[in-house]
């Protein structure tokens, strides 16, 4: 059977950082509280569109896989913050890369987006429709942050990650590399816990939308509980489907929502911290971008070896959840590198956030 194997990985983190100390100047919070409750010290604020981040992550992943854009059959972008409703980010990336042979579409499952995209790609590769697929998770979340509201603005950051999936003939039965099992789920009755009413992040702030529609409505405590249950239950089901237990897992790469969510969920699974990859400290929660960026960082840190059993698991708005069990292939080093960079900027983080602060000011008449 053909399986979907990750053969390329890349990420793009914009250069301007928002530290916890910066946030202390914007709302009533402090570094110790944020780090202790979330594991986050800083996050990136993008000076370019999310599509630009997606493009660079994609070029890096393609170089890593040793592929050219015309080799691709499909481009799938997972994003909660697409630049426009139509055309999709995926088609904009197709045009920019010159991936003329690729179908392209976006998918929104909030923070579970990369896992949903991987599940979709797995089905397409196993059915024989696609052989080489580029999956991107890209977010410009700061646009939905009201930086005077400490309940949510401390958590989220911007960034993009990408992975190339290729079909691999599994000639060695159970030990073959690639995606082994999938679990996906959703509970729309809890959708009200994370809501953004407006869509389209091009420009800054949102063109023509009132601030109450573009701001994230977020019920942190409720989300925390559902996330822990969602991640642990989903990963367990995916392992059962793979005929495995927690003991078989070499590394869990969870969605980076909050270090405490990751810790509680993996403890429930019976997986100790040494087998869990966490890189939230300087990225924050980057929604659909977090898992592909974490895959990149885990490989760079030497945390994945050929043949390892890796579990990807996520929870997000909707609410949605999902998990993937995969066996890593033989390669953990890039075949090539892409040297391009984002356009440079001299802007400070406060320069970048000024229009955001002005935009959301009417929601804080007493501030
Ligand atoms: C948002 C979150 C960090 C809040 O942490 P928490 O431990 O639940 O904190 P609480 O909301 O219980 O608040 C505890 C206290 O800290 C205060 N507080 C809340 N946010 C604060 C902040 N940014 N800085 C300082 N104090 C803060 C609260 O007002 C409260 O004070 P009180 O006890 O005097 O009333 C946490 O709920 C969370 O991470 N939720 C889910 C996050 C997520 O990533 N969701 C997306 C999933 S994909």
Q: What pLDDT is recorded for position 203?
A: 73
Catalytic (active site) residue 64: no
Residue 221 falls within a domain, yes or no?
yes
- C-alpha of 267 from chain center: 22
Residue 176: the pLDDT is 87
Q: Give the model's pLDDT for residue 1.
A: 81
- Residue 99: CB partners within 8 Å, gap ≥ 6? 69, 70, 72, 75, 93, 134
Domain assignment present for 133: yes
Place of tokens 């969920």: 265
Q: How far apart are CA 313 and CA 324, in angstroms?
A: 6
For residue 127, what are the contacts with CB-CB under 8 A and spacing of at least 6?
none
Residue 309 is encoded by which pair of tokens?
A: 């059993």
**Which of 109, 258, 264, when mutated, tests ligand 1's pocket best, judged by the most ligand atoms within 8 Å of its CB?**
258
Residue 28 within any structural domain of the chain: yes
Alpha carbon 286 to its chain centroid, in Å, reads 6
Task: Give the pTM.
Answer: 0.97
Nearest atom within ligand 1 for CA of residue 110: 48
Give the domain extent around 104. 2-335+348-363
**CA 218 to ligand 1: nearest atom:** 45
Domain membership flag for residue 340 = no
296 classed as catalytic: no
What is the model's pLDDT at position 178? 96
Q: Which two tokens stand for residue 283?
A: 């990225």
Domain count, the chain: 1
Q: Which residues contact 87 (CB under 8 A, 6 or more apart)?
A: none
What is the CATH classification number for the domain harbouring 143? 3.40.47.10
| Residue 233 counted as domain residue | yes
pLDDT at 174: 55
Positive or negative torsion for Cα 65, 70, 76, 78:
positive
341 within some domain: no
What does pLDDT average to in each consecutive run of 10 residues of the chain (367 residues)? 95 98 97 98 98 98 98 98 95 98 98 98 96 98 95 97 91 76 97 89 74 90 93 97 98 97 97 98 98 98 97 97 97 97 98 94 89
Nearest-CA residue for ligand 1 atom 48 is 316
Residues in the chain: 367
Does 42 fall in a domain?
yes
- Within 156-273, residue ranges assigned H as helices are 211-214, 220-241, 259-269
Assess contact for 284 and 74: CB atoms under 8 A.
no
Whether 285 sits among the annotated catalytic residues: the reply is yes
Q: Is the CB of 105 under 6 A from ligand 1?
A: no
């Amino acid at each position: 059977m053909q399986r979907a194997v990750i053969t390329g990985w890349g990420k793009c983190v914009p250069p301007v950082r928002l530290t916890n100390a910066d946030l202390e100047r914007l709302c009533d919070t402090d570094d110790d509280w944020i780090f202790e409750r979330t594991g986050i010290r800083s996050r990136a604020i993008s000076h370019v569109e999310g599509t630009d981040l997606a493009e660079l992550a994609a070029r890096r992943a393609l170089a890593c896989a040793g592929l050219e854009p015309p080799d691709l059959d499909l481009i799938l972008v997972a994003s909660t913050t697409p630049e426009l409703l139509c055309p999709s980010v995926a088609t904009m990336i197709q045009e920019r890369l010159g991936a003329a042979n690729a179908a392209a579409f976006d998918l929104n499952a909030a923070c579970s987006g990369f896992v949903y995209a991987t599940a979709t790609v797995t089905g397409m590769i196993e059915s024989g429709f696609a052989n080489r697929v580029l999956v991107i998770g890209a977010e410009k979340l700061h646009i939905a942050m009201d930086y005077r509201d400490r309940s949510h603005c401390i958590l989220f950051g911007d960034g993009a990650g990408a992975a190339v999936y290729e079909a691999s003939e599994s000639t060695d039965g159970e030990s073959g590399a690639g995606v082994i099992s999938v679990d996906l789920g959703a509970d729309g009755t809890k959708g009200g816990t994370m809501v953004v009413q407006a869509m389209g992040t091009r420009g800054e702030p949102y063109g023509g939308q009132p601030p109450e529609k573009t701001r994230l409505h977020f019920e942190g405590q409720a989300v925390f509980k559902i996330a822990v249950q969602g991640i642990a239950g989903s990963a367990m089901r995916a392992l059962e489907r793979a005929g495995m237990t927690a003991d078989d897992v070499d590394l869990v790469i969870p969605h980076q929502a909050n270090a405490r969510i990751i810790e509680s969920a993996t403890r429930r699974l019976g997986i100790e911290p040494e087998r869990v990859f966490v890189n939230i400290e300087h990225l924050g929660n980057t929604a659909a971008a977090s898992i592909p960026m974490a895959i990149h960082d885990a490989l760079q840190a030497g945390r994945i070896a050929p043949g390892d059993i890796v579990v990807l698991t996520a929870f997000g708005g909707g609410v949605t959840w999902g998990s993937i069990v995969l066996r890593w292939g033989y390669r953990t080093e890039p075949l090539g590198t892409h040297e391009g960079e984002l356009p440079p900027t001299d802007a400070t983080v406060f320069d970048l956030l000024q229009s955001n602060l002005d935009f959301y000011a009417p929601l804080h008449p007493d501030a």
